[in-house]
Amino acid sequence: MRWVESGDVRLALFEEGDPGRPTIVLVHGYPDTHRVWDEVAALMRDRFHVVRYDVRGAGRSTAPPDRSAYDFDHLIADLGAVLDAVGKPKVHLAGHDWGSLQGWEAIAREGIRDRVASFTSLGGPGLRQTRHFTRHGRRRDVAAQRLRSWYIGAFRLPVLPELAWGSVMPRVLTRTLLREGVAPRPGHPAPTLAEDGRNGLWLYRRNMAATLGGPGPGPRVTDVPVQVIEATRDRFVTPALTASFGRWVDGLWHRRLTAGHWAHRSRPGAVAEMIAEFAEHVEGAPAGTALR
């Protein structure tokens, strides 16, 4: 482990494998830490240089003193600081849940997307893509996605979510994992879960209304190669929303996996192989080759 400074926080950075090999950066979601990727990282470190970090406010990384500093500007700056520390001109990025949301935002931004050789999205739609879907998708599809996203409004309430993370939410998360066939093990859920859960509420409070409901720029078609791994039993993302991503990507790989939201825990071998195959394909693809 080493520390990376990013503005008002210190990020805990973890590396495995040969730095001379292509680099895979695995970004965790909410309310996890880098440890949620343990099984996948162990399977990939002989083929890649594997990089993970605890996002701001999670695990061993520090939380910003200003709670407003969980917006995408700060999150993408953190990713940029990690890439600076790693020192590679390009990396392969893979994200789960909020790590995936950050990845979608990263490949849309000047100054960072040129540093991403490929992006694998697992269990986390881009907010700009989601906004377009909710405004232009079929009514029944949008309604179904809104039902699965009920927790977003709950997490944005004052005080109550913080109280829940100090009482019932750790048990709720454990039961949810068990229903997916994911047994708790050292490192996941993390011993910092309750604090991570409270800090990460500000991801929802600072980004959801501003991006989903605001007048900002819509999604743009990206030339970064993108792979979407659709966990077919994901209780938070509908197939219709996932299917809509193709219009925003030149050369999308859309792959399905029978698993729940935490597919990288329940089926780490399949997830590791999908990420590896995609990265190796991109590494070997001539410039300008369209991915199918």
Q: Are the CB atoms for 134 and 166 separated by under 8 Å?
A: no
Q: What pLDDT does residue 217 have?
A: 66
81-118 pLDDT per residue, tens: 999 999 999 999 999 999 999 999 999 999 999 999 99
Q: Are the CB atoms for 281 and 291 separated by under 8 Å?
A: yes
Q: Name, in order, each residue with C-beta under 8 angstroms of 288's C-beta and a sequence gap of 6 or more.
A: none
State what percent of residues in the chain have pLDDT above 90.
92
The domains of the chain are located at 2-283
pTM to 2 decimal places: 0.95
161-171 pLDDT per residue, tens: 999 999 999 99
Q: Report how far residue 234's alpha carbon sits from residue 257's, in angstroms, rounded to the nearest whole number.
A: 10
Q: Report how far residue 219's alpha carbon sits from residue 113's, in angstroms, rounded to the nearest whole number.
A: 14
Backbone angles phi, psi at 4, to 5 degrees: -125, 125
Of 218, 205, 71, give the one whose Cα is nearest residue 131: 218
Q: Name, in order, each residue with C-beta under 8 angstroms of 171's C-beta and a sequence gap of 6 or more.
A: none
44-79 pLDDT per residue, tens: 999 999 999 999 999 999 999 999 999 999 999 999
215-236 pLDDT per residue, tens: 666 788 999 999 999 999 999 9
Question: Looking at domain 2-283, which CATH architecture does it have?
Answer: 3-Layer(aba) Sandwich (3.40)
Tell me the pLDDT band of 291, cut-offs 50, 70 and 90: very low
Q: What pLDDT does residue 251 have?
A: 83
Q: What pLDDT does residue 292 have?
A: 39
Q: Are the CB atoms for 166 and 120 separated by under 8 Å?
A: no
Q: Report how far residue 71's alpha carbon sits from residue 67's, in angstroms, rounded to the nearest whole number.
A: 9
State what percent of residues in the chain have pLDDT above 70.
96
Res 284 pLDDT > 80: yes
Give the position of tokens 């926080």: 9
106-157 pLDDT per residue, tens: 999 999 999 999 999 999 999 999 999 999 999 999 999 999 999 999 999 9
Q: What pLDDT does residue 214 have?
A: 65
Q: What is the DSSP string of 105-140?
A: HHTTSTTTGGGEEEEEEES---HHHHHHHHHHS-HH
Q: What pLDDT does residue 290 have?
A: 46
Q: How far is CA 207 from CA 210, 214, 242, in A?
A: 5, 10, 20
Res 197 pLDDT > 60: yes
3-state secondary structure of 227: strand
